[in-house]
Amino acid sequence: DVLTLPSGETLPLGVDLPALDLSPHSVHSDPSVSCTSCHINDTRYRYPHLENPAQSVYEFHAAVSQNCESCHYPHLPFHEEVDAAQYDPPTCADCHGSHNIARVEEMANVMPDNCVRCHTDRSRDWVKDFLEPRPGFGDGAAAYAGSMRCAGCHEDKYFTWTETLHAKIIQNPATHPEAVVGDFLTEDPDLTFPLDDVTYTIGSRLRQMYLTQTVSDTFHILPAQWNVATEEWVPYHPEDWQESDWRDECAGCHVTGLDTATGTFREFGVGCESCHGPGAAHASDPENVKPFAAVDAQVCGACHSRGTAPDGHPFPTTYKPGDALVDHFTFATDESSVWADGSAKLNHQQYTDWQMGSTMQQAPDMSCITCHNVHEAGPGPSQLKDVEENALCISCHAPQAAIVTHTPFHEAALGKRDFNCSDCHMPTMATSAVPYDIHNHSLLQPDPQGTIDHGGLEAMPNACNNCHMRPGEDPAWAAQTIAYAKELAPPVAGGFFGPGPTPTSPPPPTPMAAAGQAPIVSDEMEIREWIRWALFAMAGFIGFMVFAWAFYKLRARGESHA
């Protein structure tokens, strides 16, 4: 039986009771939902029924949806930009139905039929892929809902986040073949496995590693990585790559909702709950249960640091956003991880750099997200908010935009290369794929004196000598130059020059001939200078002789014609 509305559309009068019993609106649900939970007024419940005032199916669904919002938080995912003047925005019943309501985990299978009623140009498979929750492995840790659940109310942030490095850190080449950046067609002795062995890719910006999942559901990083900058394969633990499971060594910072006891996780990638904490309770009761939403560098630091958790994992297994990170993690201080002053030698240690005590770190409005986007990829690399690095710095440090004023002695170099603020204040000192491809994040001033104190460039690099590497341009020369510049133009508060802290006690300094002396000019440089001046003098003498000879000839010719 059907009810015909004035629009000519029909509504079924029957209800599929077995389907209703299986839905979240069943009397068997917790809390229990019965017919009269929704059909509660004269029009919808009492018999004989009054005439239905709805003129169309849309009006009927709009009226029904008022009941939905008495229990459910109102939301309109994926349809916020619908122009109500041209299209009627969908109602609760349009998407979810009235009786056969899909549970969250079933939405991708049940809802496509509802979607294609309006989206007639789309296929059911397209809708299913659109709604499919991000893949995980097993149930994962308790209280995690998955990022797709967040999309229900925060679709604007969800869809821009899906394009970020965090969201794409783990990808399945079977469904996203474009995720593979390594050259699997080349013949290279370091490439010892075929593409078919790759279950997931890890990373894509500086290097890409490859994860394989065995028949016994263990995960291992395959024994070669692709270096993006040099476009080459290099070995990665070729001797012991099968001895440890990736979930024990790395997964805590590459998946969301990891349960270390079972090895299961809610989803691949750094999802919403990695930064906002477990979200199932908030999704169920959004008015009363709020996720963590403060700006806190510790949230980034949980993965952008090296160290050991109390249970031995190399990532903070018990940390949740809002906690004190130091209560869950001991930062690495070994010489393989950090330089002699405590700054990062290897990748993913930006947070420990940040904690080294610069005045910027102490500023109340300065944090990781001052420069980096978190919910969108952004125009610059590493999700920077501006494609021009200097533009980010100058937005706060406008007086330093004039590099000639801010950085003495660099006038001649300005015509030869472009300078970035990061060249001096965030030098490349850490390594991910190739040596020195990661910027230091301490934001301290260039400190060649620290290099001298700690025994030389091999023990402690510095920003000055990242560029100045010619004979005579050693750390002592750089320190002397900075000292001379400070005499010429004493730095203002929070000055341009000055050493940073040295958290570790420096070893006895290696004697350096230039320490405390005027800048050295090497014998080689002196010889080059003498040669240059000798050539100038010789050229001048030859030029004079040619001129004198020409003058003599002209004069002699004039006398002969007289």
| Lowest mean pLDDT segment, chosen from 19-33, 60-74, 76-90 | 76-90
What's the pLDDT tens digit per position in 178-214?
Answer: 999 999 999 999 999 999 999 999 999 999 999 999 9
pLDDT band of 537, cuts 50, 70, 90? confident
Task: Tally Cβ neighbours within 10 Å of residue 131.
Answer: 19
pLDDT band of 491, cuts 50, 70, 90? low
Residue pair 439/426 in contact by the 8 Å Cβ criterion: yes
Backbone angles phi, psi at 352, to 5 degrees: -70, -30
One DSSP character per residue, 137-183 reads: BSS-STT---HHHHTTT-HHHHHHHTTSTTTTSEE-TTT-GGG--S-
- Our measurement of the distance from residue 255's CA atom to the centroid of its chain's CA atoms, rounded to an integer in Å, reads 14
Residue with token string 């209800």: 15
* Neighbouring-strand partners of residue 220: 212
Domain boundaries, given as residue ranges, for the chain:
2-101, 332-488, 522-562
pLDDT top residue among 311 and 513: 311
pLDDT top residue among 281 and 560: 281
pLDDT of residue 80: 65
8-state DSSP, 445 = P
Q: Can you tell me the distance from the alpha carbon of 152 to that of 150, in angstroms, rounded to the nearest whole number?
A: 5
Backbone angles phi, psi at 227, to 5 degrees: -90, 120
pLDDT of residue 64: 84
Does the pLDDT value for residue 216 go beyond 60? Answer: yes
pLDDT band of 405, cuts 50, 70, 90? low
Does the pLDDT value for residue 43 go beyond 70? Answer: no
What's the pLDDT tens digit per position in 257-280?
Answer: 999 999 999 999 999 999 999 999
Q: How far is CA 324 from CA 86, 302, 437, in A?
A: 51, 10, 30
**Nearest CA among 151, 205, 150, 176 for reference residue 384:** 205
- The pTM of the full predicted model, rounded to 2 decimals, is 0.73
pLDDT of residue 462: 96
Q: How large is the C-alpha radius of gyration of the chain?
A: 34
Residue with token string 């509802």: 114
With the C-alpha atoms ordered 357, 427, 351, 342, is the resulting torsion angle positive or negative? negative
Q: How far is CA 498 from CA 56, 450, 482, 483, in A?
A: 75, 10, 8, 9
